């Protein structure tokens, strides 16, 4: 659904959360390969086109831009640097402890750290 509705462009935070929680669930189920795949997508969303975090519309969600323009408050409780730190810390979730020696996991954590 995220791909069908172009959610990555519209509001990447939700897509990043989807991949992060998917990775945790795969890992809990003992499927490290799918967990790494979800983490790969999580990192990609986090480092490519996430910032600045905004909600925006498109041709299907055509009413969002005017709705957001009328809002008085910010879209998030955290600034970009805080969000980036939270993204990096997510890789140290105890759910991923068994992946710490996995070379792709190490590479993904490094990419997240360096590219953010």
Query: What are the tens digits of pLDDT across the range 45-102?
Result: 999 987 776 665 556 555 666 665 666 555 555 688 888 999 999 999 999 999 999 9
Q: Which helix H or strand E contains 68, and what residues bound it?
A: helix 64-70
Considering the domain boundaries, does residue 33 fall inside one? yes
Q: Assess whether pLDDT exceeds 60 at residue 37.
A: yes
Considering the domain boundaries, does residue 44 fall inside one? yes
Q: What is the pTM of this model?
A: 0.78
What SS3 class is residue 94?
A: helix
Model confidence over 2-19: pLDDT tens digits?
A: 676 566 666 788 899 999
> Which residue from 67, 72, 58, 116 is spatially nearest to 91, judged by alpha carbons?
116
Q: Are 9 and 53 contacting, i.e. CB atoms less than 8 angstroms apart?
A: no
Model confidence over 91-113: pLDDT tens digits?
A: 999 999 999 999 999 999 999 99
Considering the domain boundaries, does residue 1 fall inside one? no
Considering the domain boundaries, does residue 105 fall inside one? yes
Considering the domain boundaries, does residue 47 fall inside one? yes
Considering the domain boundaries, does residue 93 fall inside one? yes
Considering the domain boundaries, does residue 2 fall inside one? no
Considering the domain boundaries, does residue 95 fall inside one? yes
Residues of the domain holding 87: 7-115
Total number of domains constituting the chain: 1
Give percent helix, percent strand, percent coil of the chain, each to the nearest 5. 65, 0, 35
């Amino acid at each position: 659904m995220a791909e069908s509705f172009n959610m990555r462009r519209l509001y990447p935070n939700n897509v990043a959360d989807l991949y992060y929680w998917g990775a945790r669930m795969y890992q809990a189920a003992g499927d490290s390969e799918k967990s790494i795949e979800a983490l790969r997508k999580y990192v990609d969303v986090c480092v490519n086109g996430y910032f600045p975090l905004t909600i925006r519309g498109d041709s299907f969600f055509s009413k969002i831009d005017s709705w957001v323009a009328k809002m008085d408050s910010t879209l998030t409780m955290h600034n970009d640097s805080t969000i980036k730190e939270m993204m990096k810390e997510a890789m140290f979730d105890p759910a991923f402890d068994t992946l710490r020696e996995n070379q792709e996991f190490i590479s993904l954590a490094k990419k997240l750290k360096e590219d953010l």
